[in-house]
Amino acid sequence: RLKQRLAGSNALGRGLLALISRDQLDDATWESIEDLLIGSDLGVKASTELVEKVRTRLRVEGGDARTILKDELVTLLDPAADRRLQVTGEGGKPGIVLVVGVNGAGKTTTVGKLARILVAEDRKVVLGAADTFRAAAADQLETWGSRVGVEVVRGAEGADPSSVAFDAAKEGVDHGLDTVVIDTAGRLQNKQGLMDELGKVKRVTEKQAPVTETLLVLDATTGQNGLVQARVFNEAVDITGVVLTKLDGSAKGGIVVQVQQELGVPVKLVGLGEGPDDLAPFSPEAFVDALLG
């Protein structure tokens, strides 16, 4: 599915494949490859180094340019990173997954899709609608809840987000559920406000059970802006994994590398559309395969 989603619409893969498959890989072609990589938000330094490495290996080892490019891309995506989600707790407590990110990044959608996956794995799940600033956000989460068959804990509009998160976690603990997934508010009002709010949500939730996974949802199409957001959120709460959304139809896949290097945590999931089944575990090998065939 990753392949269909990415290859069908991905200008990056098509462009790279056309260039790397040429008989004559002259300087101009390598420059075009570098430009495409930079355009994919891989970053200038990483793009230049990558092309340099591929050219050197090709010269020294011979062989097939596409295979070497694929190999180097996979290496850059950090294939050894642990991308498993911590969705279960210890000592009979549920796993608590906090989902953070700015409004519009795809948080609520991701929570819904993630619940779908967890339910499919036979886990008992409850969702917490801790984005209490927009009534629409809780409504949207309830729609997802009924779509995937899980209960949603919500508070009154304007309620303290941390109290809703606490209630959701309590529901998980009291009923012996496996996982509590908490959708948070994404107002990036100012750094201090965000840190205070998310810090409190985490602190209060942990009166019930430890947060086992904190996922930052980033919109892949926002480029450098996404990196700035990532930095701010990582200072507010310790991010343990990134969900990169809207990779479908985006030629910006290179951002994966920058995000991982910036945060030092892996991209664990990717969003590939708006539907309930459009969330996939991120695999460097599958990703590069989808790009370059």
What residues are designated binding site for GTP?
Answer: 101-108, 183-187, 245-248
* Residue among 246, 263, 282, 284 that touches ligand GDP (CB under 6 A): 246
CB of 31 to ligand GDP, least distance (A): 31
* Residue among 15, 95, 266, 271 that touches ligand GDP (CB under 6 A): 271
186 counts as binding ligand GDP under rule CB under 6 A: yes
* Residue among 103, 163, 221, 283 that touches ligand GDP (CB under 6 A): 103
Q: Is residue 272 within 8 Å of residue 247, measured between CB atoms?
A: yes
245 counts as binding ligand GDP under rule CB under 6 A: yes
**d(C-alpha 30, C-alpha 246), whole Å:** 28
Q: Choose the stretch contacting ligand GDP; rule: CB under 6 A; options: 36-44, 148-156, 195-203, 272-280.
A: 272-280
The smaller minimum CB distance to ligand GDP, of residues 54 and 280, is found at 280
Chain Cα centroid distance, residue 263 = 12
Q: DSSP assignment, residue 94?
A: B
The smaller minimum CB distance to ligand GDP, of residues 10 and 208, is found at 10
Closest to 86 in 3D by CA, of 109, 112, 114, 113: 114
145 counts as binding ligand GDP under rule CB under 6 A: no
The smaller minimum CB distance to ligand GDP, of residues 109 and 260, is found at 109
Q: Is residue 292 within 8 Å of residue 66, measured between CB atoms?
A: yes
Chain Cα centroid distance, residue 86 = 14
Structure tokens at 216: 């930052």
* Residue among 98, 198, 251, 272 that touches ligand GDP (CB under 6 A): 272
Q: What angle do CA 135, 228, 166 make, to 5 degrees?
A: 40
- Measured distance between the N- and C-terminal CA atoms of the chain, rounded to whole angstroms: 13
Positions in the binding site for ligand GDP (CB under 6 A): 101, 103-109, 186, 245-246, 248, 271-274, 278
